[in-house]
A and B are shown apart, each in its own frame.
Chain A
Amino acid sequence: MGGVPVGRRNLFSDRRRAVLGIAGVGVALLMVLMLAAIVNGAMRQVTRYIDTSPADVFVAQRGVTNMHMASSAVPLADLTRIRALPGVAWAEPILYLPDALATAGGRQVAYVVGYVPGQPGGPVSLVRGRAPGPGQVVIDQRVAGSLGLKVGDSVRLLARTWRISGLASGLTNLANTVAFVRFTDLAAARNLSGITSYILAGARGDPARLAHRITAATGLSALTRAQFSAQERALVQDMSAQLLQIMNLAGYLIGLAVIALTLYAATLSRLREAGVMKALGARPVRLANVVLSQALWTVGAALAAALGLTFALAVVLGRTAGNVPVVLDPGSVARVAAGAIVLAALGALAPLVRVWRVDPMTVFRR
């Protein structure tokens, strides 16, 4: 543009006021961003096991498309049938049941995965120790930390005592954690025979076609890893959707109030100057620019501040609260940015009209 940035100058002429306004909007945007980041973080955690699995296809009981907060029971006989299908590189069963890790130091709800040792389904990488032998369990290092456990210690699970053989990472989230034991151990602990929860399969060729083939042959629910992961994310999303909507609305409304306040105060206290500009020959567009640029600068700075705070909070929460994964994704940032721009436009509306209506004759007022 090359012209004098009157709007920006006006906004920052009173630094304290500018900061208050920006902080106010920033806090509102922070709320929206934090919520998005928390939900996103939760989604990531919940799908961690699936996303890092070597399996191409996940097979579950008919009508079941989730692991988290779901129950699935598949007859082991189907395992044999699946192994015999063309396009199956391998197939292994996993048991998946909710329970709780308990020590004198505390308690943590956990999904217990029973897998066949040496086969896919167990922890993808261990940060410490080894895969579980008979009567042994691998837990996530974060939960180990919060319960004060290390490799070699004992922990109660499924009404039995297990020895910790190793620690995995990245499997603890807000709600629960994942622990690994041997398939046979888990089946025995729960008195299950001839049954598994899920079957993992590796595909020789296109996983999607294999999934179809499995369903056709067995009537079971079969999804590719990507599809299965998407289902898990959808679950987290659907569970939190309405609450999130309410909170977001509140956040945006508060942000709108602050913007309106900031702009209103700024334009009102400078109504005479708007008159001066008009008298000098400024056209409506130029006047609109002044107001709009103030609005955009305010939300822009607020968004930047909110983003910075979100990252900072993520680090702080990561260190202290531990199990609240806060991860911002570009999609959320884009959405909040768009929301912020809408806020700016809405908040600028009334002040804009006021400025447009200013009678340039006010410049003669004594």
Chain B
Amino acid sequence: MGTQVPVAWRNILAERRRLAIAVLGAGLAVALILLLEGLWSGLLTQISAYPDHVRATFFVRQPGAKTLSEGVVPVSAAGRVRAVPGVAAAGPVLTRWVVLDLHGRKQVVTVVGFTPGSLGGPWALAAGRTVGADGEVVIDRTLAAEHAITLGGTLGVTGRSFRVVGLSSGTRSFMGTGYLFMSLHSAQAMFGAENTATFVLVRAAGPVAVRAAIAGRTGLSVASPDLVAAAEQNLYAGIMGKIFNLMVVIAFAAGTLIVALTVYSAISDRLGEYGIAKALGARRGRLFRIVAGQTTVLSGLALIAGLLLYLGGSRLITALWPQFQIELTFRALGVVTVAALLMGMLAALVPTRRVARLDPASVYRR
């Protein structure tokens, strides 16, 4: 194998500009796969932000409810829950989807109506304070920045005017959703849902025993925040998963074709050398290895380029659109490395065929 690698390097590096374009193109494909994986991780994180961050031990809700906005419980249930020994605090929360119209663009938010001072409000504030009374809202800071909404300013929600008292962070997803916090009363009035809530948040010590007690006393289902988070993620995984996978496959195909095309061109330009190799007795396996050497080199370069492009690109994206969360996981790196290797192998197929069918004598016929 010793003499073959230099051949591979030499061939590929011969045409600098072509190499550059190929590495860029295939690198883009690799970067795209990384980006997709990163977006996916980020999406899952963003989607389950509420159950992940709201400091509660349990979500108490209507039996059968799975995701955050499912189900109905009477507000009075909160009182019954509070009465259960071991329960430190309980607060009813009403969640509903609402479409905001901001500068002619539609923005879906989950309105979170909670009791000021009790559980369920924003967990991280970038500015201002949390909701203290009816008529006040806390909105995500990136959303506010995008639409020039300021602290102290007003926000119209389904025809009602609210005063913005706080800007929260980590409360938005790039799939076009986010959380908007207001008082429970405001939400109930807005939705015509007097005396109802979606779930009751509970803080308790000694989880296991309390859980059974709550369920027993109220007849409602008691879920850990992890369960709720998982349900939110499953919902979106179902929706977006297929699409993301499809895009990853397409990006992979693009990268493979770019590598194949480049190596094919490199080989075509030097068909003579391969003719000699064949005339000297190189068999198909050997030829494949020579070709695969080149495609592997190219894929390797593409992998590096892809990583760099990804790092630059993801930074650019989050700078331009702060609601995008892109996480680089080991899994993603693993996926992309395997992808690059596979690209190298697959891309070698067509060029190898070209060489295999080469009649050594014909190359020198003028």
Direct contact of A and B (CB under 8 A): yes
Instruction: Give chain A's interface residues, CB within 8 Å of chain B.
Output: 14, 16-17, 20-21, 23-24, 27-28, 30-31, 34-35, 38, 61-66, 69-73, 75, 98-100, 102, 107, 109, 156, 159, 174-175, 190-192, 195, 221, 231, 234-235, 238-240, 242-243, 246-247, 250, 253-254, 257-258, 260-262, 264-265, 268-269, 313, 317, 321, 324
In the complex, the answer to whether B62 meets A71 with C-beta atoms within 8 Å is no
Which A residues are in CB contact (< 8 Å) with B159? 61-64, 221
In the complex, the answer to whether A66 meets B18 with C-beta atoms within 8 Å is no
Task: Determine whether B69 belongs to the interface, using a CB cutoff of 8 Å to chain A.
Answer: yes
Task: Determine whether B9 belongs to the interface, using a CB cutoff of 8 Å to chain A.
Answer: no
In the complex, the answer to whether B158 meets A61 with C-beta atoms within 8 Å is yes
From known contacts A17-B264, A63-B158, infer whether A261 and B99 are also in contact, taking CB-CB under 8 Å: no
Q: Which listed residue, B105, B258, B321, touches A261 by the CB 8 Å rule?
A: B258
In the complex, the answer to whether B72 meets A324 with C-beta atoms within 8 Å is no
Q: Which listed residue, A69, A254, A313, A317, touches B97 by the CB 8 Å rule?
A: A69
Task: Determine whether B354 belongs to the interface, using a CB cutoff of 8 Å to chain A.
Answer: yes
From known contacts A66-B106, A69-B108, A260-B21, infer whether A269 and B175 are also in contact, taking CB-CB under 8 Å: no
In the complex, the answer to whether B247 meets A20 with C-beta atoms within 8 Å is no
- B47-102, CB < 8 A from A: 62-67, 69-72, 74, 96-99, 101
Which one of B190-198, B205-213, B277-285 is at the interface?
A: B190-198
In the complex, the answer to whether B32 meets A250 with C-beta atoms within 8 Å is yes
Which A residues are in CB contact (< 8 Å) with B31? 250
Task: Determine whether B29 belongs to the interface, using a CB cutoff of 8 Å to chain A.
Answer: yes
In the complex, the answer to whether A254 meets B25 with C-beta atoms within 8 Å is yes
Please give the distance in Å from B51's CB to the nearest CB on chain A.
17
Which B residues are in CB contact (< 8 Å) with A156? 64
In the complex, the answer to whether A109 meets B67 with C-beta atoms within 8 Å is yes
In the complex, the answer to whether B191 meets A253 with C-beta atoms within 8 Å is no
From known contacts A27-B253, A71-B96, A73-B191, infer whether A98 and B69 are also in contact, taking CB-CB under 8 Å: yes
Task: Determine whether B331 belongs to the interface, using a CB cutoff of 8 Å to chain A.
Answer: no
Which A residues are in CB contact (< 8 Å) with B243? 38, 174, 324
In the complex, the answer to whether A254 meets B67 with C-beta atoms within 8 Å is no
From known contacts A30-B250, A258-B258, infer whether A239 and B108 are also in contact, taking CB-CB under 8 Å: yes
- B98-139, CB < 8 A from A: 98-99, 101, 105-108, 111
**In whole angstroms, what is the CA distance A28 to B261 when docked?**
14
From known contacts A63-B158, A73-B193, A234-B106, infer whether A100 and B70 are also in contact, taking CB-CB under 8 Å: yes
In the complex, the answer to whether A257 meets B174 with C-beta atoms within 8 Å is no
- B143-202, CB < 8 A from A: 156-160, 174-177, 190-193, 196
Which B residues are in CB contact (< 8 Å) with A195? 192
Q: Which listed residue, B70, B98, B250, B323, touches A70 by the CB 8 Å rule?
A: B98
Q: Which listed residue, A31, A98, A239, A261, touches B261 by the CB 8 Å rule?
A: A261
Instruction: Give the bracket for the number of chain B residues in contact with chain A.
Output: 35 or more
Closest residue on chain B to residue A260 by CB atoms: B21
In the complex, the answer to whether B257 meets A159 with C-beta atoms within 8 Å is no
In the complex, the answer to whether A321 meets B242 with C-beta atoms within 8 Å is yes
Which A residues are in CB contact (< 8 Å) with B106? 66, 231, 234-235, 238-239
28 contacts between A and B (CB under 8 A): A16-B350, A20-B261, A20-B264, A23-B257, A24-B261, A27-B250, A27-B253, A30-B250, A38-B243, A62-B158, A64-B158, A73-B190, A102-B64, A159-B72, A174-B239, A238-B106, A238-B176, A239-B175, A253-B28, A258-B25, A258-B254, A258-B261, A260-B25, A261-B21, A261-B261, A264-B18, A265-B261, A265-B265
In the complex, the answer to whether B25 meets A257 with C-beta atoms within 8 Å is yes
- A-facing mask of B312-350, CB < 8 A → 1, else 0? 000001000101100000000000000000000000001
**In whole angstroms, what is the CA distance A175 to B237 when docked?**
10
Please give the distance in Å from A207's CB to the nearest CB on chain B.
22
In the complex, the answer to whether B262 meets A261 with C-beta atoms within 8 Å is yes
From known contacts A31-B254, A257-B24, infer whether A159 and B268 are also in contact, taking CB-CB under 8 Å: no
**In whole angstroms, what is the CA distance A98 to B66 when docked?**
12
Please give the distance in Å from A67's CB to the nearest CB on chain B.
9
Task: Determine whether B214 belongs to the interface, using a CB cutoff of 8 Å to chain A.
Answer: no
Which 9 pairs between the two chains have the least Cβ-Cβ distance?
Answer: A257-B25, A63-B159, A239-B176, A73-B192, A62-B159, A24-B257, A63-B158, A265-B265, A20-B261
From known contacts A27-B250, A254-B32, A257-B258, infer whether A66 and B99 are also in contact, taking CB-CB under 8 Å: yes
In the complex, the answer to whether B99 meets A64 with C-beta atoms within 8 Å is yes
Closest residue on chain B to residue A320 by CB atoms: B242
Closest residue on chain B to residue A71 by CB atoms: B96
Interface centre among B66, B107, B192, B193 (most CB of A within 10 A): B192
**In whole angstroms, what is the CA distance A159 to B221 when docked?**
11
From known contacts A159-B71, A191-B196, infer whether A264 and B250 are also in contact, taking CB-CB under 8 Å: no
Please give the distance in Å from B128's CB to the nearest CB on chain A.
24
